[in-house]
Structure 1
Amino acid sequence: MADLMRPLLPQTDHESVLNEDPMPLISNNKFWSLDDIIEDNIEDFGWAQLVQCLLVSLARLFDGQQTFITIFTDAEPSWHCSTTTSNDVTCTTNSDICQLSNSEWGWDGSSSRTIVSEWNLQCASSIITSLPSSSFFLGSFLGCLFLATLADTSLGRKKLLFLSCLIMSFSALATIFSTNVWIYTILKFLSGFGRASIGTCVLLLLTEKVGKKWRGQLGIMGFFFFSLGYLSLPAIAYMNRDSSWRSLYLYTSIPAIIYCIFAFIFVSESPRWLFLQGRVAEAIEILKRIAPIKDRALKSSLISHVDIKVEPSNSIKCLFVKRWALRRILGVMVLGFGIGMVYYGIPMGVQDLGFNIYLGTMCNALLEMPSYLVTFLVIDRCQRRFSILGFCVASGVFSIICFIVSNYGSNDQEIVMMKIGIEIASLFGACMAYNILLIYTTELFPTSVRNAATSMVRLVIAFSSVVSPVLARAGRRNAILSYGVFGFVIIFCSIFVAFLPETKDATLCDTMNEQEKENDTFVT
């Protein structure tokens, strides 16, 4: 298989084509690689690219809803005292309801507001009550493991995005028919398995359809829509606070299924992936559609004369066979584990800070908006490694401070507000690190294994998020098991960024051989 860095368009062979262009695209002795061709055609940003980015990013909105929906559906609702106890001890809201008889207390509102009140899980262990959330993230973990290579090989980015979103949506819809926590847990697992590749496919479709100039900024768009989905949950939950938890799944899954139909029809495949699969005609057609109108005829005619030499897609094992790739994938996976634990763990523990669950979740969701704005501003100004390290350390320090403050054990309003402020600061740092890490990962690896590499990072993020709900529940009794562990883990994992190269302004490579040459890494 020929290396894609070999000459693709020598000047002497295409003089007739170049004469059509008043501003020659190839200078003397200049040969064009696949990256040169794609960059030249989609260097600018037009309306067609904007529409594609918006369509692709919408998948992350529904992903965000299903990821955090258990904050409301699996919460323990408020309750009230009905009578005094048989031991003449006055029942208060500080009493342990497991020590009271059913006649001495009752839920505020309908008993079907959450799975805890409907299935009487208020006295169950933290393992049982956190099982649905953990199974969702376990499904994400296994989904990343089994679906990791499909976007690089047989299915491609678009089809895997459609399949993942469809599985997640139908599983979420089926959840409303659950009759016990075990069926509910299985359906949450299937939903998590389906959504495992959504974030990766969205990120790749965004960054592979734009030029280097827009890669960092457009990569943020998917994260922004994920936050919109997260932010929509408190509003939907509040409007349905007197209804069954099933209504939340109904109102979030139906729009997601409708979106899947639109995505299948209107979203286009990544031209980079199509080129590597030998589907040159399809890739050229997509480049014509998404290129700025003023450049379509001229530049696409140049591309149509190119003889693309295709090499087979590399499998995921290439990430672990080549030494430079192994060092990179292990480094970003360790980073992903620490960042994911804080990113998913802190929102799960918001109820334990003594703050209103709707307002607390809304504050956490709103927090992600400025994090994307800051990421947008710093992504092309600061080094990737320095940014990730700084935000990870800041997040860890604030998480440890939150654990220290929680030891006061006071529900005083000032202490509660202080906890919320520190928790928000910790989550902000994790959000920033999360955003930059995924963009950083796409720049570390070539197109042939880019989805596999990004999926491996999301794999360990999913693994850490399996543990997060259990730690968040356990933190109700001892904050060191939640905020303390979160802080120490993310700080320790951030150290591994020192073993990774900087990628700011780097060229996106397409094959493993090209990546080795780009980094002057000659490893057999």
Structure 2
Amino acid sequence: MAQSHENIPPKITESHDDTPGTVASVLEINESHDVITSSFEEMLERNLQGFGWAMFFQVILIALSAFFDSQQTFISNYTDGIPAWHCTHNARTTCNSKQSADICKLHNSEWAWDEIPSKTIVSEWGLQCSNVFLRGLPASSHFAGTLLGLFVLASLADSCLGRKKLLLYSCLTMSVTGILTILSNSVWIYSLLRFIAGFCRATMATSGIILLSEVVGKQWRGRVGTLLFSYFMLGMLFLPAIAYINRRASWRHIYLYVSVPSLVYCLVLLLFAIESPRWLFVQGRGEEAIKVVKKISPVKDKTMLMSLHSLSGYQRPGASSSTANIFSSIKNLFSRKWSCQRMLSLMVVSFGIGLVFYGVALGIGNLNFDIYLTGIFNGLLDIPVVFLSYFLIEKCTRKTSLLILCLASGVSSVMIAVVGEKLKMIQITLSLATFLCADTALNLILVYSVEMFPTSVRNFAASLARQAVTFGAVLGSLMNSLGSKNPYLSYGVFGLIVFCCGFFVLILPETRGTSLCDTMDEQERKENIVHS
């Protein structure tokens, strides 16, 4: 597609005056002294090269959101379960506290909880003999809230709110809802608040990783994404420690110790975090974008920094369309054939990864271990995943890495069903291999989804990818229940689906080491140049 002359900004005369100019871009001169315009992304890369202390502080501050996000995600493991119980002296000889299902066949005088009745919502509200739907309602509500929040809130980060505000509001409402959950006096109110918490935190992961990716240069993009995964892992490790410390207290204490620190974090985020300069520039807020770049840029060359002033009065072509309404990013994303095809392919791959990851993770979580050790064990599994993710992001192409991980997790999952329980150690080893491959693929797909779409639709596109992962989790949970007696209906299906979904990676473009685009027109011109 030929570029219209209307989009070519005028020539720049470099000035050392501090007054912001009104011209559009910085010029680069080739060997024949022809002058061409460079994108804002290229100028940004020149000013964000390196990694100074200001940038380091921002990266740590933003990535910390994943720590609290993971705790709210998995807190139900310690607040919604059936606590241990024992037979009393009045019990019949048939009483067996090792079989919790028998608790419903005993008289209330024949058994008692090992610890205080308010240890979990099940023991406090007498849900131990309720139907499966009622006991699983809080977790299902949280899941449903996340699905709805991903769709409703995603476009706000691309339009009116931006990355920082959506991350801040999501974390703030999640924290406040967590504190209000302490006041619940029934499973219905509790489930409603869990739904609201899921709705509020739905976009935290995407807002966090996109904001991280847009405040650093491309050479650091993959590394800061890995840092976000590391904080998510730390949150998983700290949560069982918090639950263990409060093991003899009410479940309300766990919500208190998880939600109050995240509320304090919101205050720090409000005061010190910056907005994405790329998003500001797409919105036509050039002067604010320049201030942000100057604040975090490790570049000491004043001439290079001053050249940013030439961008302050220029609004990117296509920027106005991104601010038309909060759902403009949906229209922009699906109105073009190439972006629609790319989005659908990404969602298919994300669905397969989410299916096998959550399906196998649920199986690992059902191991007959102590609940606190199980939480720590699941968190420790993420340590090799973080290192493997870092290596693949830095050294290998996105397409090749994802394709191999999808195929490997698919084969391993099918082999779990083929081996069966007779070879228990081999089955456990294959389960761990499948989990590690799927977990690593999940990390990579989050980074990948950020890189293949422009700033104007990036958050919405990444949220759709995460929504596909969540749908995979829903089906994975269902198949895991159906396949409790026949592993071919669970692990066999997981492996077959992710194996087939993995080939859709071949449709997607390679993004490793490429610059981020800001508008759909710019992304389209870039794609045409690559394929010409």
Give the TM-score normalised by structure 1: 0.89
3-state secondary structure, aligned to 2:128:
coil
1:279 aligned onto 2:293: no
Q: Which residue does the alignment assign to 2:20?
A: none
User: Cα distance 1:294–1:353, how it changes in 2: closer, same or farther (>3 A)?
Assistant: same
Aligned to 1:366: 380
Give the root-mean-square deviation of aligned CA atoms.
2.8
Deviation of 1:459 (Å) = 1.9
Match of 1:121 in 2: 127
Shift of 1:466: 4.1
The 1:231/1:128 distance shift into structure 2, 3 A limit, reads: same
Q: In the alignment, which residue of structure 1 is the partner of 2:160?
A: 154
In structure 2, the CA distance between the partners of 1:429 and 1:281, relative to structure 1 (3 Å rule), is same
2:471, 2:455 → 1: CA distance?
A: 25
Q: Distance in 1 between matches of 2:413 and 2:122?
A: 28
> Counterparts of 1:154 and 1:280 in 2: how far apart (Å)?
16
Whichever residue aligns with residue 74 of structure 1, its letter is: D
Given the alignment, which residue of 516, 520, 523 partners 2:528?
520
1:327 aligns with 2:341: yes
For 1:5 and 1:346, how far apart are their aligned partners in 2?
53
1:427 and 2:432 are equivalent in the alignment: no
Quickly say closer, same or farther: Cα 1:112–1:418, change in 2 above 3 A: farther
Q: Deviations over 1:425-460 (max 9, x none)?
A: 322112110111011111111111111101111222
Aligned counterparts of 1:9 and 1:343: Cα–Cα separation in 2:
51
Using the TM superposition, name which of 218-227 and 484-493 deviates more.
484-493
For 2:506, which of 494, 498, 511 is the aligned residue? Answer: 498
Identify which of 452, 460, 474 aligns with 1:452: 460
Of stretches 307-316 and 512-521 in structure 1, the one that deviates more from structure 2 is 307-316
Equivalent position of 1:21 in the other structure: none
Distance 1:496 1:131, change over 3 A: farther
Alpha carbons 1:61, 1:229 under 8 Å: kept: yes
Tell me how far apart the structure 2 counterparts of residues 131 and 378 of structure 1 sit (CA, whole Å). 38
Q: Distance in 1 between matches of 2:172 and 2:298?
A: 32
Q: Structure 1 residue aligned with 2:174, among 168, 171, 194?
A: 168
Of the candidates 299, 313, 316, which is equivalent to residue 330 of structure 2?
316
**Which of 395, 403, 408 is the equivalent residue of 1:381?**
395
Distance 1:383 1:287 in 2: 29
Call closer, same or farther: CA 1:169–1:5 in 2, change over 3 Å.
farther
Matched, 1:303 2:308: yes
The aligned counterpart of 2:96 is 91
Separation of aligned partners in 2, 1:48 and 1:176: 38
| Aligned equivalents of 2:519, 2:345: Cα separation in 1 | 20
Partner of 2:205: 199
Query: Does residue 510 of the first structure (1) align with residue 524 of the second (2)?
Result: no
**Structure-1 separation of matches of 2:454 and 2:6:** 12
Answer yes or no: is 1:76 the counterpart of 2:82. yes
How far apart are residue 237 of structure 1 and its match?
A: 1.2
Distance change in 2, residues 1:135/1:472 (3 Å): farther
2:79 is aligned with what amino acid?
T
Query: What is the CA–CA distance in structure 2 between the aligned matches of 1:4 and 1:299, rounded to whole Å?
Result: 26
Task: Say if 1:95 and 1:68 are closer, same or farther in 2 by CA, change over 3 A.
Answer: closer
Change (3 A) 1:357 1:330: same
**Percent identity of equivalent pairs:** 44
Q: Which residue is equivalent to 1:185?
A: 191
Moved more, 513-522 or 228-237: 513-522
Question: Which letter maps to 1:334?
Answer: V
Can you give the 5+ residue segments of structure 1 that lack an aligned partner in the other structure? Answer: 19-23, 409-413
CA distance in 2, matches of 1:476, 1:187: 31
SS in 2 for 1:377: helix
Quote how far apart the aligned CAs of 1:95 are. 6.6
**Relative to 1, partners in 2 of residues 1:478 and 1:517: Cα closer, same or farther, differing over 3 Å?**
same
Q: Deviations over 1:186-244 (max 9, x none)?
A: 11110000001111111111111111111111122212111111111111111111211
- Count of aligned residue pairs for this structure pair: 507
